[in-house]
Amino acid sequence: MQNLNLLSIAKRLQSIAQAGIFYSEDKPFDLERYEEVSQLSVQILNNLTDEPIEKIGNLFTQERNGYQTPKVDIRAVIFNELGQILMVKEKVDGYWSLPGGWADVGYTPAEVAIKEVREETGLAVKTVRLLAVMDKRNHSHPPEGWYVYKIFILCEKISGNILTDTTETSDIQYFSLENLPPLSEPRNIYSQIKMMFEFRDDDKKEVYFD
């Protein structure tokens, strides 16, 4: 619990520092102080997560255009005719997740879901409806440096054949809730997958949001 509190504090410090840097361009002494706060928060994040300090620092440097905002992770939810859910095996850690990834500038959330499914599975899909918007902090993911919103979108297969090996994934399969594979918990956790099955069983279930 203490580490989670420190993680939240570090992220908040980074957000304050970036806003201060943006609005202190003509105030060199203030700028220096905000830069120091930023570096201290990066060091804290590095100590609390597995992310390299260079990666954390580079990401925050790239985003210095005003107030820091949450990153957005979009996941596509696809069921087959047997009611099983489509999952991909991530090359980065060897565990399984729903197809998806970071939202790209210039794409709508629906377009991101469609693009990620095509790239990671070879399938063409259409989006059906929004299922959930989650603040990753409120769910039991491993700690990380970024503040993330997760969007889950129900999709329906249109065409295509499954590719079992892509740039980011090494396997693709459908699973029942009772037979889920080891999950890539930075990307999705059991309670989230279980919720997706609840949406499958109740098409009138209201959108979940934190």
Please write the tens of the pLDDT for every residue from 76-112: 999 999 999 999 999 999 999 999 999 987 899 999 9
What confidence tens digit (pLDDT) does each residue in 106-138 have? Answer: 899 999 999 999 999 999 999 999 999 999 989
Instruction: Give domain 71-209's CATH superfamily.
Output: Nucleoside Triphosphate Pyrophosphohydrolase (3.90.79.10)
Q: In this model, does residue 13 exceed pLDDT 70? A: yes
How far apart are alpha carbons 101 and 172 in whole angstroms? 16
Half-sphere exposure of 93 (CA within 13 A, CB side): 11
Determine the Cα–Cα distance for residues 152 and 194; give it in Å rounded to an integer.
Answer: 13
Q: pLDDT category, 58, cuts 50, 70, 90?
A: low
Burial of 43-77, coded b for 16+ CB within 10 Å and e otherwise, reads ebbbebbebeeeebbeebeeeeeeebeebbbbbbb
The owner of tokens 């993680």 is 7
